[in-house]
Amino acid sequence: LNSSFSSVRALWPSMKDNLQRQKLAWQRLHGEPMPAAQARHALMQMMELQTLYFEEESDSPVADPAFWARLAAAAGLSVSEESLASRLGPLEEDVTPLENDDAKHITEEFNERGYTVVSTADAGVAEDLCAAVARGIDAVTAAGLPPVFVLVFDETWLLLSLQLRFLERSRVLGDSGVEIRPDINCWRLRRPLPADEAQEPAVERRPGDNFPERHRDLRYDQCHDPETDAVTALSVWVAVNPSGATAGNGAMRCVPIDRDPLFYCADHPDHMSTGETVRGEPDVLEAPAGRACMWVPSLVHFGGNMRPDTVEEPRMSVAATFLAAPRCGFNGDGVVGDPDAAEGAGPPPVSKADLLRLPLNRRLAHAAKAVLAYSHWYPGLPGIDLCALSSV
């Protein structure tokens, strides 16, 4: 592994803390200490992921453009700055604002429930892009990568651009522009074995598996204007598998505002510790492929598990946080601040203009950040080996 020694030294305390969190999670999950070989594996993967995160040179096949060209060709996809820029043009043709009644209804849903489910583009366009992204997820997982590396393909960014354009047209985040926060992720659930077929199944969580813990993405004061209480950020989640998101295959769950006594209480010590304190019954956000589930980031939510008896295929989904452009400065803790505070701390927010020049190393940085940020949920990082990949 060819990680930069300077960045490894600079990040060694955080990497060490990350590994310790993984060891504790492994102990809780398996009932025994993490084996030394697994700890070494996790550390080596984190070193390589941090190399990608800082957009530094790497000898890993995952950083080789030829690897991605082969993978894209086999899946009928593309990886090209020029191709992405040319395909964005037709998607930007309709920039007229939504009708006032439509925009008002969406805003009311955010204010009253905290979430909405809405079509953000022509159904045919959205469905075609979802099918392409689903092929990309299958391709990267078959090659031995976490699903979030589908961010390398143009089609994933085209799908995200549809959401960005819709938010600009609806003006639910104001009229000064929208950017994509560098907090993009992807999931590909696995069908669990029926109980009578399981022979002491291994307890294992891999990147891309469901995240079923109740949580908020941001505090209330991180996604609302301090003077007007207007929403300044939205989480957007799109199922891309053919059946979309159903109650049985892993649809998103959201606890509406009126069932959350701590929703407005950013200073409450339990505001972000929602697992035990916010037990309100969630709503199930079923949605066909391409239809966007959106919620205020301070809303309690969690991914639904795949049920063994569900006839639909396991859910695959892509999600990102979208921000009103003037509030796009986030420091390492995700707190709104000076945009310059994020310099040297991984990939910056993505604007509509940035989509026109999105090189491979920047796409890889976003994917690496997603794995690193949630690696404690996947202790030992099983199923990943960034230096032993296949593009067949």
Candidates 321, 324, 320, 344; CA nearest to 332 is 344
Percentage, residues of the chain above pLDDT 70: 86
- For 5-42, give the DSSP string: HHHHHHHHHHHHHHHHHHHHHHHHHHSSPPPHHHHHHH
DSSP character at residue 200: S
Residue type for 327, please? R
- pLDDT tens, position by position, 27-86: 999 999 999 999 999 999 999 999 999 999 998 999 999 999 999 999 999 999 999 999
What pLDDT does 339 receive? 36
- pLDDT tens, position by position, 198-221: 444 456 889 999 999 999 999 999
What pLDDT does 370 receive? 95
Query: Average pLDDT in the 350-362 region?
Result: 93
Question: Position of tokens 């669990």?
Answer: 192
132 near 240, Cβ under 8 Å?
Answer: no
Q: Is the dihedral of CA 198, 203, 209, 212 positive or negative?
A: positive
Task: Determine the Cα–Cα distance for residues 110 and 284; give it in Å rounded to an integer.
Answer: 16
The token duo for 158 is 């085209």
3-class SS of residue 206? coil
What pLDDT does 278 receive? 76
Q: Which of 262-266, 286-290, 336-340 has the lowest mean pLDDT?
A: 336-340
Beta bridge partners of 135: none
- pLDDT tens, position by position, 10-19: 555 588 889 9
191 near 308, Cβ under 8 Å?
Answer: yes
Give pTM, 2 decimals: 0.90
Task: Determine the Cα–Cα distance for residues 268 and 356; give it in Å rounded to an integer.
Answer: 42
Q: Is the dihedral of CA 72, 76, 79, 82 positive or negative?
A: positive
Chain-centre distance for alpha carbon 280: 25
Query: Average pLDDT in the 140-147 region?
Result: 96
Question: Position of tokens 């993009």?
Answer: 184
58 near 126, Cβ under 8 Å?
Answer: no
DSSP character at residue 215: B
- pLDDT tens, position by position, 84-129: 999 987 666 656 677 777 888 999 999 999 999 999 988 889 999 9
pLDDT confidence tier of residue 26, bands split at 50, 70 and 90? very high
The H or E element spanning position 116 is: strand 115-119
